[in-house]
Amino acid sequence: MRSLLLATNNPGKVREFTRLLAGLPFQVVTPEDRGINVTVDETGSTYEQNARLKAEAFARAGVCLALADDSGLEVDALGGAPGLHSARYGGEGLDDRGRVILLLHNLKGLPPDRRKARFRAVVVVAGCGTEARSFEGVFEGAIADAPRGNDGFGYDPVFLLPDGRTAAELPPGEKDRLSHRGIAVRKAAAYLETLA
């Protein structure tokens, strides 16, 4: 069975990718499984460029097919920020909680109709002589006034769905079905089936 290397060390993404790719005719492996320690400078100007940089670097290191994503939260009232810089929003010293607090501070006082936002993800599959292919997913919503929920990671506790729940309040299977990453990975999985 061919290996598919997840080009990430983010534990939240590893959990989501592993669930979403279950049932594919590939052995899904992590960098830790393979003893791979790769750091990729995300110097691209788009999600697709950053995902491609990661997929190609991990594919070279693992000598196998790799799947990477780049994703971000785009808030309309902030001109699409934090966008490409979602994981570094506010600077290197902030963790997920700190970034959420900063985001809420920057939206303080805005009414619900001015808090529209979306998660966007681009997944790239590359390596082992295959041409790199990209797949996009978008998850529309808004930013809540305060964090809620214990599941998910990143901005999930403040990403509000139209039904009033946050992404962090969704059961994992439902989040996988609705989310930007879930949409993009399902498209990538259909392509991977053709390579198996």
Whether 113 is catalytic is no
What is the residue-level pLDDT of the chain in tens, covering all 196 positions? 789 999 998 888 898 899 999 989 999 999 999 999 988 999 999 999 999 999 999 999 988 999 999 999 999 999 999 999 999 999 988 999 999 999 999 999 999 999 999 999 999 999 988 889 999 999 999 999 999 999 888 999 999 999 999 999 999 899 999 999 999 999 999 999 998 7
Q: What is the pTM of this model?
A: 0.92
Q: How many CB atoms lie within 10 A of CB 23?
A: 8
CA distance 185 to 99: 25
Q: Which of 33, 41, 70, 95 is catalytic?
A: 70
Fold of the CATH domain 3-195: Maf protein (3.90.950)
Between strands 3-6 and 116-127, the pairing is: unpaired
